[in-house]
Structures are given as structure tokens and as C-alpha cells.
Amino acid sequence: MRIGELADRTGVSVRSLRYYEAQGLLVSERTAGGQREYAERAVDRVILIQELFAAGLHSKKIAQLLPCMRDPDGGPNERATPELVVELTAERDRIDRMIADLATSRAVLDDVIATAAREL
Amino acid sequence: MRIGELADRTGVSVRSLRYYEAQGLLVSERTAGGQREYAERAVDRVILIQELFAAGLHSKKIAQLLPCMRDPDGGPNERATPELVVELTAERDRIDRMIADLATSRAVLDDVIATAAREL
DNA sequence: GTAGAGTCTGACATCAGTGTCAGGTTCAAG
DNA sequence: CTTGAACCTGACACTGATGTCAGACTCTAC
């Protein structure tokens, strides 16, 4: 598929897809004319990238992480270096803290909302 | 206390504290010489602001939200407008989605980490 | 072969919070 | 008083993902 269809199917802008490629997160074949051509599995990959972005990982770390993931099509995958494992563990801990903080913030909002609703 | 102490006690930079004030999130008295003087409760307020920032709320919305919170010292608090309640409810839903997404991302990281650990 | 939609690269803009620097003032301790 | 640390304002830089624009090219359908 071409970039427009991938954008539609993932809900990610064309601009962002090109950015992902520039950052080494996404690969594409090129047509004779130079246009990007994506395999079907690009859809899942883009969604995964988005999730990792949402989790606060930077593109650089995602670029390190992606080749170490278990490939759904059984392709060869790189082994994670011990350094990367350490970094990813730190990320996981950071996400845990983030989830806890979000729960706190949610409670704050909930309190304001509940108080306001009681007054209405 | 002065701004440096508040920064130390909250872990927030002096620069950010001044920014919070410019955004109407934080108030301070001023000494005769014009330096900021903070009450004890500013500490909790700053921490709360940080939490809300971490939850993805923008300063403008936090500025609306703060006066509607139940005051720990029993001071008068504004009533939340129905519009604000709608917005805050949307924020709460967004936070819920964010927490769910983070859980997904955490699982992804966990998988990579576990796979790598098994290979070592 | 031509029209129009889609795509290409490259560059610059945006957002919001924060860092940082300059030049000047205030405060507290000696 | 003087000294040095802390503070003041204002301005500009940065980050990193994304928006947007221009000018040129490709692809598909007629």
C-alpha cells in the first residue's frame, strides 16, 4: 500500500509516517518512481510505534527496541544488549510511576467533578 | 520561604516556578524589595501542579481547575462551571485511555525484557 | 496524452515547558 | 559597608513530534 492508505488505516498523518522512516522506525520499499510502498505488517508496526510514543519513549529508544521484538512473521530478530535491557527496565519503571501519578491526577479530577456535580 | 527554597523542596526549577506564576497557577507575596515570598502551602500546590502537568493537562486548564478545588485550609473556592465540568470529564476519560495505553506499552517492554533475560 | 489526485523532498513554523544568559537589584552575614 | 549568594526581568534557545507550504514528480483513469 502507499503512504496515504497507511495513514488512513492507522490514523497517523502522512507527515508522521515519513518522520518515522527518517528516524529508522519504519521501512518501506520504493516504486520505480520513488514512491513508498508498504507491506501489510506496516499497519501493526505503526500502531506499536504510536503506543510507544504515547508511553513517553523517544524515537531513538524505540529504534533500538523494535529490532529486538519477537517478529510476528518469525523473521530474525536481534538480541537485546544488556545495556538496552537496563534502559528498557528503567523505562518500564518510569511507566509504572507514570501510571501511579496518573491515577493520582485522575482522583484529583474526580474530586472536582464530584464536588461540582453535588452542587448542581 | 523564597523561591530557591521552594524549588529545592519541590524539585521544580526556579524557572518553572516563575513560569507557573506567569500562567496564574501559583501566587506569591512580594518583599519590599520585590522578591517572591511563598506560604507553606505553596509546596503542596506546586506538587499538585506537577502532577497535573504530568497527566497532560495544559496550564490554561489547570488554571481553571485549581480555584475549584476543595481548599485544605477551608478557604472559599469557586464553583466549577458546567462547561469546565464537561472539559474535566473529557480530561479524565483521556487519562483513563492513557493509563490503558500505558499498560499496553508496559506489556510490550516486559515482553522484550523477558525475552532478552531468557537469552542471557 | 492529459487531468487530477497522490506523492516526493526540503524547509520553516508550531506548541509548551524548560534551560540559560545578561545586566541589574536585594538580602543576609561578616 | 562590603561581599557574595540569591533574586529580579526579559529575551532567546531548545526539544521532539507534528503541521504546513512550495515546487516538482508519479501514478491512475479517462
| Rounded CA Rg of chain A | 19
- Interfacial residues of B (vs A; Cβ cutoff 8 Å): 48, 51-52, 54-55, 57, 65, 68-70, 79-80, 82, 84-85, 88-89, 91-92, 95-96, 98-99, 101-106, 108-113, 115-117, 119-120
Tens digit of each residue's pLDDT (9 = 90 or more) over A16-63? 999 999 999 999 999 999 999 999 999 999 999 999 998 889 999 999
* Partner residues linked to B37 by β-bridges: B29
Q: Which pTM does this prediction carry?
A: 0.85
Residue A67 and residue B45: Cα distance in Å, rounded? 43
Tens digit of each residue's pLDDT (9 = 90 or more) over A75-114? 667 778 888 899 899 999 999 999 999 999 999 999 989 9
Instruction: Please name which of A36, A11, A1, A2 lies closest in space to residue A21, comparing C-alpha atoms.
Output: A36
Residue A94 and residue A98: Cα distance in Å, rounded? 6
